[in-house]
Structure 1
Amino acid sequence: MPFLHKISPLFYLILSFIMTLGFNACQDSEHPEVPGPFTTPLGKVYSREKASGKALQQYLEAREVYKKDSSDVEALIWFGRRTAYLGYYEDAIAIYSQGIRRFPEDARLFRHRGHRYISIREFDKAIADLQRASELIRGTENTIEPDGIPNAMNIPVSTLHGNIWYHLGLAYYLKGDYPNAYSAYIHCRESGTNPDNLVSSTHWLYMIQRRMGNYILADSLLRPITPELEVIENNSYHNLCLFYKGAITEEILIPEGKPSAASDAVAYGLANWYFTNPDSLTLDKGVDLMSAIVEGDNWTSFGYIAAESDLIDLQRKADPVIKE
C-alpha cells in the first residue's frame, strides 16, 4: 500500500520493540514443558500432568525470583523444589545439579537432589548425595526446614539434619541395606525431639529390625510411642507405631478394611508387618498388600516405591536371571 511508504523508520523500530517485549512476556509466562511419561521398574507407565492452579503459580513465582538473581542459592533451591512439586523430577535434579556446581558445600542441594533421585529410583545416586550431605552438616547446628506444602497447622516439623538422615535411611532401605538404613534412622531420631520426628523415624527403625529378624529389639524401639503424643503431620506413622505396639487394631488402622482407603504409608507399613511376621502363613497377605499398592496411581510415594522394591526383590529371588 502506498501510504506505508509515508510511515517513518522510527515507527517500525518502535513497533519491533513492542513486539519483542510481547514475545518475551509470553515466553516468561509459559507453562513449563511437561516431561514424558515415567516408566517404573515394574514396567508401569505414568503420565505427568500439565501444571495448573496454585502449584503452577508458585512455580512461576519461584522461577522469576531465580531469574532475577541466579546467584542466590535460596532462590535456586526453591526453584528446584517448586519444579519437583509439579512432578518434574528430572528437571528439578538438573536445577540442583547446577546449584551444586556453584555451591558445592551447601548440604541442602545434596539433600534435595538425593530426595529426587529416590523419586526416579536412582538409589545409588541418592545414597551418594545424601551421604555427602551428612558429611557437610557434621558439626553444624540443626535448623528447621521450611515447608513447601504446609501442614494444616502451618508449623514446620522437620529439620535439615533430620531430612538428610531420613532420606538416606530410606535409600539404604530400598536397596535392602538394612544395617546402614538402621544407622541412618537412629541419627534421624536423635536429630530432633518433636513427636513427628519420633514417630516417623521409629516406624522405619521398627520395620528394619523386623526385616533383620530382631523382633525383641523392634518392639523395644516402640517404648516412647504413646497415644498422647501431639503429632501434627505424621499421623500415619503414629498410627502404625500404635498398631505395632498393639494399642490400636487393624480395623482402626485401615478404614473399612480397605487398604485403598488408607495412605500408601499405612498400607505399606501393614504389608511389611505381615510380610515379616514370624508366622510364614501371613507372608502372602503382605505380598498381596504390596501388589495392591503398586496398582495405584501414587507412584512417587515412599510406600509405593518401597512396595515396588520388595516385589522386584521377590521376583529376582524367584528368577535369578533378573538383573537390577
Structure 2
Amino acid sequence: MTSVSLTERYIIAARLKGYLNKHAESVALLTEALEQDPGSARLLRFRGHRRISIGDYTGAVEDLRTAADQLDKVEDEYEMYQVEVEKDVVSLILGRPEQVRPQHLSEAMAAQDPAALDRYLTTLHTSVWYHLGVAQYLLGDFEGCLPSFREAERASRHQEGTVASQDWQYMALRRLGRPAEADEVLDRFRKIELVEEDHLVGYEGRMQLYTGQISSDQLWAMCEGDGLRTVTQGYGLGNWHYYNGEIDKAREVFDGVLATNVKHAFAYLAVKAEYDRNPDFAGTATTKEN
C-alpha cells in the first residue's frame, strides 16, 4: 500500500484504541470518520463492534443493522487480524506508509496472493452479521439474533467465524426451549474437520461440550490459566448448566468469568447481561468496575 487513505487511518487508529481497551475513544474516532464518510458499512461495522464494548447494545444494533441492510450492494472483503494490524500501526508511526498492507483484501487481491489470507481471518460481511447477532443476544433478543448468526455462519470463510456463529445460535435456541433446532446446529458442527490454531479462544471446546465429545471438567481444564479462554469457555459452560436446570453451578461458573476481569470479551459482557436482566440471578453481585 503506497498510500493510506484517511478512512483507513481512522480504522487503524480506532482498532488500536480498542486493543488498548479504550473503547469509548475508539467509538469517538469512528463517529468522526462517519461524519466524513456517512453510511460507510465498513465504518459502521467497526463502530458497532466498539459500541458493544462500551455496553451500548442498542446503538450497536442500529449501526450494524444499517450496515447489514446495504451488504447486498457492498463487495465482501477480508479483514486484517489484530496481530497484523499492530505491525501496520508501527509502520505508520515510524513514517513508513509504503509498508502498510491493505487492511481490507478484495476477492481479486486474494486470488492474486492466496498466501496473504493467513493474515486475514474474517470478512466484512461475516463481521457485520456476527456482531449484530452478539448485540441482539446481549439485549436478550434470542429470537432476533438467530437470523443474524445464520447469516454470519453462511458468510464465514474460516473455522472460528463458523463455529462461533453456530455456538451463539445453539445457546439462543436452548434458551428459547427449542432443543430440536439446537441439535441441527450441532449436526452442522460435527461436519467440520477442526484445525487447532493459536488464535482460537474456545468456541470449539464449547461446541464439543454440547455434542458430548468432552465433559464439563475437560472443558474447564482446557482453559489452562488463559483469561480470555476462561471467559469464553466459561460463559458457554455456565449457560449449559443454566439451561440444564443447574442454576447454582451456572452462577459459580459465571462468577469465575467475572473474576478474570477480561471486560472486553463478549462472554464477559454476556455474564453481566445475565446478572442484570435475568430474574434467576437476582441479587447476584457483579464485580465493581475499575
1:92 equivalent in alignment to 2:26: yes
Percent identity among equivalent residues?
27
Seen in structure 2, the aligned counterparts of structure 1 residues 99 and 117 have a Cα distance that, compared at 3 Å, is same
CA distance in 2: counterparts of 1:193 and 1:224, whole angstroms: 15
Letter in structure 2 aligned against 1:311: Y
Q: 1:191 aligns with which of 148, 155, 159?
A: 155
Partner of 1:222 in structure 2?
186
Partner of 1:255 in structure 2?
221
CA distance in 1: counterparts of 2:24 and 2:153, whole angstroms: 30
Q: State the TM-score, normalizing by the size of structure 2.
A: 0.78
CA distance in 2: counterparts of 1:317 and 1:249, whole angstroms: 25
Whichever structure has more helix as a proportion of its residues is 2
Q: State the TM-score, normalizing by the size of structure 1.
A: 0.70
CA distance in 2: counterparts of 1:237 and 1:196, whole angstroms: 7
How do residues 209-288 of structure 1 correspond to structure 2 at under 5 angstroms? 209-226=173-190, 228-232=193-197, 233-234=199-200, 236-255=202-221, 262-277=229-244, 280=245, 282-288=246-252
Is contact 2:223–2:233 with CA below 8 Å preserved after alignment? no
Deviates more, 1:241-250 or 1:206-215: 241-250
Task: For structure 2, list consecutive stretches of 5 or more residues without a partner in the other structure.
Answer: 86-116, 284-290
Task: For structure 1, list consecutive stretches of 5 or more residues without a partner in the other structure.
Answer: 1-64, 320-324
Q: CA deviation at 1:85?
A: 1.2
Aligned length: 248
Q: CA deviation at 1:149?
A: 2.5
* Structure 1: 4+ residue segments shifted above 3 A: 231-235, 256-262, 315-319
Q: Which has the larger radius of gyration?
A: 1
CA distance in 2: counterparts of 1:205 and 1:260, whole angstroms: 25
Tell me how large the CA RMSD over aligned residues is.
Answer: 2.6
How do residues 101-180 of structure 1 correspond to structure 2 at under 5 angstroms? 101-150=35-84, 154-180=118-144
Letter in structure 2 aligned against 1:220: E
Q: CA deviation at 1:239?
A: 1.4
Deviates more, 1:268-277 or 1:243-252: 243-252
